[in-house]
Amino acid sequence: GIQVEQSPPDLILQEGANSTLRCNFSDSVNNLQWFHQNPWGQLINLFYIPSGTKQNGRLSATTVATERYSLLYISSSQTTDSGVYFCAVYSGGGADGLTFGKGTHLIIQP
Amino acid sequence: SAVISQKPSRDICQRGTSLTIQCQVDSQVTMMFWYRQQPGQSLTLIATANQGSEATYESGFVIDKFPISRPNLTFSTLTVSNMSPEDSSIYLCSVVAGGQTEAFFGQGTRLTVV
């Protein structure tokens, strides 16, 4: 099956800093999503981005499908940005769901 | 996006017992899935819940341990059977609406088996 690798696995930043999270995938995809898992375990949809660039406030994402990677940018980090960020892909070809990366654990210190 | 209600939100269960988790969506959806997240780990797909027929299970998951029902387009249940402490995880329901590929998740059920 498709492989999804995220980097870095852990990231500790000061409030106000910027960060870039990376997601590499091993095959072509029909869907790529970024999620933020809050401390209560809830998955929040950040971006649905199988290709191209999107922005939502301080967050933006870019997926280069031909090179099989996606980047999530967080600018002017706030303590509420802390949590785990997951990249997940759907490669199609059946009724299977998303394949998740192992996540990036982000800690924003005040 | 669809509103997904998952119940219970958390539970503490005795080993050897079973727990049924419910997932209710406020609109008809094409696909419903169940995922497991073990402590400190990523999410793993358990199965696709198929309306009116047996679920499609991923490798490593079997119907006897994780029976799934989906009687209609808006509701599904996952049962965790004969539980052991290794079943302690967050279980999440996910849906995809018709004609779309973006997935949305319920708030999860945090299960602790003692």
Question: Looking at residue A65, what is its pLDDT?
Answer: 94
pLDDT digits (tens, 9 = 90+) for A75-98: 999 999 999 999 999 877 655 799
Question: Looking at residue B52, what is its pLDDT?
Answer: 87
Mean pLDDT value across chain A: 94
Contact B103 A97 (CB under 8 A): yes
Tell me the mean pLDDT in the region B78-86.
98
Question: Looking at residue A93, what is its pLDDT?
Answer: 61
Tell me the mean pLDDT in the region B40-52.
94
pLDDT digits (tens, 9 = 90+) for A30-64: 899 999 998 888 999 999 999 999 999 999 999 99
Question: Looking at residue B100, what is its pLDDT?
Answer: 74
Q: Is B113 on the interface with A (CB under 8 A)?
A: no
Question: Looking at residue A94, what is its pLDDT?
Answer: 58
B81-87 LR contacts (CB < 8 Å, sep 24+): B81/B18, B82/B16, B82/B17, B82/B18, B83/B13, B83/B14, B83/B15, B83/B16, B83/B17, B83/B18, B83/B19, B83/B111, B83/B113, B84/B15, B84/B16, B84/B113, B85/B15, B85/B113, B85/B114, B86/B113, B87/B111, B87/B113
Q: Is A31 on the interface with B (CB under 8 A)?
A: yes
Whether B86 shows a pLDDT value over 80: the answer reads yes
Question: Looking at residue B101, what is its pLDDT?
Answer: 80
Q: Which residue of B has its CA nearest to A49?
A: B102
Confidence of residue B16 (pLDDT cuts 50, 70, 90): very high
Contact B101 A96 (CB under 8 A): no
DSSP 8-state code for residue A47: E
